[in-house]
Amino acid sequence: MDMRGWAEMVGRDFGYALRTLRRSRGFAVVAALTLALGIGANTAIFTLLDQVLLRLLPVKNPQQLVLLTMRGRHYGNNWGGNAISYPMYRDFLDHNEVFSGMFCRFPQPVSMTYGG
C-alpha cells in the first residue's frame, strides 16, 4: 500500500470515528473526561516523582551526602523516622572526625505580621 492509499484510509477511519461519536455524545463526553483525568493524574504523579526522586539535589557533590538515622530503642525524642535527637546531633558534631560539615533541621511553624 502506498502512502496516498494509507492517508486516505486513515482519513476515512477518522471521519467514521467522528460521525460515530457525534451520534453518541454521552459516550464521547465520558470518554474525553476519562482520558483527561487519566492524563492529568499521570502528569501529576510523574511530576511529583521527578521532583522527589529523579532530580539531583542542588548541592555541589550530592553523592557525598549522608543521612544519619537511628534504629532501635534510644533515649530522647526523635520526632519520627529518619531523625535523631538534638543531643545526639550535638554529640556527633562535637566528636566529628569524618565529615566536612554537619547540619540538622527541624520544622518550626512561624508567622509574620507587618505593621502591627
Compute CA 70 distance to the chain's CA centroid, rounded to the nearest angstrom.
26
Whether residue 67 is contained in a domain is answered as: yes
Same domain, residue pair 50 and 64: no
Residue 95 lies in a domain: yes
Please indicate, yes or no, whether residues 8 and 23 belong to a single structural domain of this protein: yes
Q: Structurally, how many domains does the chain consist of?
A: 2
Q: How confident is the model at residue 111 (pLDDT cuts 50, 70, 90)?
A: confident
CA dihedral for 15, 18, 24, 30, sign (positive or negative):
positive
Whether residue 103 contacts residue 85, with contact meaning beta carbons closer than 8 Å, is answered with no
* CA-to-CA separations, 15 to 1, 8, 9, 11, 32, in angstroms, rounded: 20, 11, 10, 6, 17
In this structure, the answer to whether residues 40 and 66 fall within a common structural domain is no
pLDDT value of residue 75: 57
Residue 57, all three cell numbers: 539535589
Is 69 inside a domain boundary? Answer: yes
Residue 78 within any structural domain of the chain: yes
Q: From CA 26, how far away is CA 11, in angstroms rounded?
A: 24
Q: Is the pLDDT of residue 33 over 90?
A: yes
Instruction: Give me the domain span that covers residue 80.
Output: 58-106
- Domain shared by 87 and 100, yes or no: yes
Predicted TM-score (pTM) of the model is 0.40
44 and 86 in a common domain: no
- Same-domain check for residues 7 and 48: yes
Contacts of 79 (CB under 8 A, 6+ apart): 106
User: What pLDDT, in 10s, does the model give residues 38-82?
Assistant: 999 999 999 998 888 877 777 788 788 888 776 666 555 555 666
What was the pLDDT predicted at 73?
Answer: 65
The helix (H) or strand (E) run that includes residue 45 is helix 25-49
Report yes or no on 115 lying in a domain.
Answer: no
Does 29 fall in a domain? yes
